[in-house]
Amino acid sequence: MRFDIVSDTHGHLSEELLDALKGADMIMHAGDCCSYEDYQRLCDIAPMAMCLGNNDWGMDYGPGVDRVTRVFRCGLRWELCHYEERLDLATCDVAICGHSHRPTVSWERSPGGSGKVLVMNPGSPTFPRTAQGATIGRIMVEPTGVIQSAEIVELQEKSGNDGWSFSRFFGF
């Protein structure tokens, strides 16, 4: 199964992002969606799990979307929390966070256990804060729960520019 990981879309879904998400079996959103319409649009692409980000205050995306969201898919325990420091690595196999707009992928030791936890921050497809530009994450998982790959996918605009930036989005 293909899990596409996004965070910090901040009320803007670019065509690059929407194109990249086509074919996903599930979308995991690590908060700061900031738009009920965007949430629904993503749900129309694939089943979605999402947590609330600091800019989602006052938004009601419905049941199942909370500060920390946990789901069980492909035999794996997934946890989504906007803030990396609030992830509970003792209770999950895959931990997804956002907020920093900086993509990272790492394997961390599970506290109190001998296992490893995949920790991913997909960066931001809307307001990236690294030279990589706009990014999402992608995790491929076998039906048996074996993680085949975990990568950061760089999104490129059709014009050849590197993703969205704050100044380009707001026109200055």
DSSP code string of 112-131: TSS-EEEEEE---SSS--ST
Token look-up 């789901």 returns 71
- Superfamily of structural domain 2-170: Metallo-dependent phosphatases (3.60.21.10)
Distance in angstroms (rounded) separating the CA atoms of residues 18 and 41: 9
Instruction: Give the tens place of pLDDT for each residue, 152-164.
Output: 999 985 434 444 4
In what order do the strands lie in the sheet containing 26-29? 48-50, 26-29, 2-6, 135-141, 147-154
- Give the whole-number percent of the chain exceeding pLDDT 90: 85
Domain residue spans of the chain: 2-170
Measured CA to CA, the distance from residue 61 to residue 95 in angstroms comes to 21
Kindly report, residue by residue over 17-45, the tens digit of the pLDDT.
999 999 999 999 999 999 999 999 999 99
